[in-house]
Chains A and B, each alone.
Chain A
């Protein structure tokens, strides 16, 4: 039966040329759309690796203070914040999710150099964001004066560099720094839509004057009063500025606004293209099948049941779709082999996008063909055969 359908369509390929062109272009558009969004979309379902709901971000500036004065001031800020009863933990950090991410470093392990994110944070960071450790411990005052910089690496870095063996106690270097691994944490993601990157937390040096704080609050629902409380508490004789004093959930909103806009625009464009393909193809199928009434009548006379007719037309649709997307699949495969889309379609995302777009197109075509085919299957053979 398949070869029969193939023969029919092959002879009609001239008549179907625009339909085939439509299928080809639609497949490529679908592939691009799915491929460029699939990875990001799947990121939404991966865990963040921390708890952001209770966290709070405070950023301060001391424009005229010297480095030594700054260090004192930062200590004072920590003291004052700890005295606020709503605040549970005070942590100083360079990297804050949804807001400011880590720095990319060239990590050298056993003479192999690879990229990893570094997050410069202090001893309280783990508690402030509830980062779960899989192995080992977080750094603490015990590490003061250690010869090598203590670091906690994420699960992803551990898997990439050490496979299944335990990374605890292993050393690697980045830049001039020698680091020793004292713990392994769960994956750590910049935001909901971000890719999971391998990374490591390095202990913030004592002499660094970072005035960015992550606070864990007991309750931040009444953020206005907490904002006022923190502002009231922080009072210094020198010039200072509070440039940010907000719950992390707000920063999350800002960080994702563009993502959501992008995703919804992509969805609208997608829906629009699908609608257009649906309309065009439905029209063609309705017309083509109405022109083939006599053929239906003949097939019924030869002993085809109406389900056989339905099967034939749906089968033809599948064959036609296959013919239409084959060049598209070849081009897409070629692009994937060339890694044209880089990180968007790396690993299994490329083939998966290919399969999903093909599958979607088959379903779309079948849905276009269903109604006209049902109508064709109900044709009265006697009238169809005598229409001319």
Chain B
């Protein structure tokens, strides 16, 4: 499903050259739930951004769902992200000026040919899956952290993506809320067969996944 070969990422300023990723080769299969672990600054977030096509590697190739996406232009990339990928962030990144329902609808807004009523219907379905149907008229700042993250998950799954990329989804949550969130993700993986890549600090959460990939100084360690 995800195939990274010889990925390098170098950040250059005028004086310093920082190597974030150094020749990473990685394959993730369809339907797998993988956790990426490692200390701060080891390059795991950079890796997730590259997998999510939010950042481009300095060298190397990525193939997602059998397509060589490295050569995609802006339009094609946007379209690919919209249809195949779903994102979950540590700090939720919900738009405070939009209601829960409108936040969840967001990805479908960038998809052609989806009517307003269908967007609404699918957003309600997605919210049901995360158990937040009752909150759809609320605004993000009226919700708890766990609820916000569940909204973010609903937003990530509304477009039926094949891959979900989660960047420390439980990082800002207490253990009870974190448990809720990870259970939703596990359930998604089991029932819908969605491929999930999750970056985490939490050994306990990581252990619930099928495979743990450990990173140190921009390289995979086993």
Contact = CB atoms under 8 A, between A and B. Distances in A.
A/B: CB atoms within 8 Å of each other = yes
A304 B97 contact: no
B151 to A, nearest CB: 13
A205 to B, nearest CB: 79
B100 to A, nearest CB: 12
Interface string B104-141: 00110111000010000000000000000000000000
Interface in B11-70: 45-46, 49, 52, 54-55
Interface string A1-34: 1011001100110000000000000000000000
Contact of B81 (A4, A7, A303): A303
Interface string A33-64: 00000000000000000000000000000000
Contact of B54 (A1, A4, A308, A385): A385
B215 interface: no
Given A7-B102, A301-B87, A385 B79 contact: no
Main secondary structure of the interface of A (DSSP, over half): helix
Contact of A308 (B45, B85, B110): B110
B78 to A, nearest CB: 4
Contact of A304 (B83, B98, B110, B155): B110
Given A381-B54, A382-B55, A4 B91 contact: no
Given A308-B78, A385-B54, A11 B98 contact: yes
B54 A382 contact: yes
A73 interface: no
Nearest to A377: B74
A221 interface: no
Contacts of B46: 382
B172 to A, nearest CB: 11
Interface residues of A, number: 27
B79 to A, nearest CB: 7
Interface in A336-388: 380-382, 385-386, 388
A302 B82 contact: yes
A238 B12 CA distance: 101
A308 B112 CA distance: 12
A385 B89 CA distance: 9
A298 interface: yes
B91 A388 contact: yes
Interface of B: 45-46, 49, 52, 54-55, 74-75, 77-83, 85, 87, 89, 91, 93, 95-99, 102, 106-107, 109-111, 116, 155, 159
Interface of A: 1, 3-4, 7-8, 11-12, 294-295, 297-308, 380-382, 385-386, 388
